[in-house]
Amino acid sequence: MAQSKVLEVAVGLFVIAGIAALATLALKISNLHSIGPSRGYDVKAYFNDIGGLKSEAPVTMAGVRIGHVASIYFDKKRYQAVTVLHIQAKYNTIPVDTSASILTQGLLGEQYVSLSPGGSTQYLKNGSKITMTQSAMVLEQVIGQFLFHKAAEGEQQQPQSPGAPGLPAAPATP
């Protein structure tokens, strides 16, 4: 009898450990905390180009996470991307003339939405719209512009040079 008690205790511990691991996966390792009807409010921000922004990306202000991107869709009348930003309830004093921009963490990191406060005394509330936005910086476009610029410079210096100058290697190469 004593031995079967040990067995049952062991199985009990095992099941508890497994369920605890599942809970850890759900609560600590994944972003379950941002799922479901959490307290907070949604504002919409319109962007011309969101680049690689995905839902669940962080929304920050002065570098501090204050919410996340709840959803992204295309507005077919304005031909713009609409991002629904879910802001935590405690940050309820964000001015209405706040601007939003899509930035990248590091050169190749995740993209996120950064809010820069305006000076209004009226605050954003559920359903408000942010229209002052700066679209994502798309790396290809930046590199393209850079190359175009360089090429233009080169042509000015060496008008007889055939075509574009030798392309610089990938910018990420150390």
Partner 1 sequence: MNQIQRLGRATIDTLERLGRATLFLLRVLRATRTLTGRFRLVVQQVYSVGVMTLVIVLVSGLFVGFVLGLQGYNTLVRYGAESSLGLLVALSLTRELGPVVTALLFAGRAGSALAAEIGLMKTTEQLAGMEMMAVDPMERIVAPRFVAGVIAMPLLAAIFSVVGVFGGYLVGVGLMGVDGGLFWSQMRSGVGIYNDVLGGVVKSVVFGVIVTWIAVFEGYDAQPTAEGVGRATTRTVVTSSLAVLGLDFIMTALMMRGL
* Min CB(6)–partner 1 separation in Å: 9
Contact positions with partner 1 (CB under 8 A) in 40-69: 56-58, 65, 68
Nearest in space to 66 (alpha carbons), one of 32, 136, 119, 115: 115
Find the binding residues for partner 1 in span 84-123 (CB under 8 A): 105-110
Smallest gap from Cβ 8 to partner 1, in A, equals: 6
Q: Does 32 bind partner 1 (CB under 8 A)?
A: yes
Using rule CB under 8 A, residue 35 touches partner 1? yes
What is the C-alpha separation between 136 and 122, in angstroms, rounded?
27
List of E strands, the chain: 40-47, 58-61, 64-75, 80-88, 99-104, 111-116, 129-130, 133-134
Q: Which of 41, 156, 55 is nearest to 96 (CA)?
A: 41
Q: Does 25 bind partner 1 (CB under 8 A)?
A: yes
Alpha-helix runs per DSSP H in the chain: 2-24, 139-157
Q: Which single residue is written with the structure tokens 């969101």? A: 50
Judged by CB under 8 A, does residue 142 bind partner 1? no
Q: Is 15 in the site for partner 1 (CB under 8 A)?
A: yes
Binds partner 1 (CB under 8 A): choice among 2, 28, 143, 158: 28
Question: Interface with partner 1 by CB under 8 A: which residues?
Answer: 7-8, 10-11, 14-15, 17-19, 21-22, 24-26, 28-33, 35, 56-58, 65, 68, 105-110, 172, 174
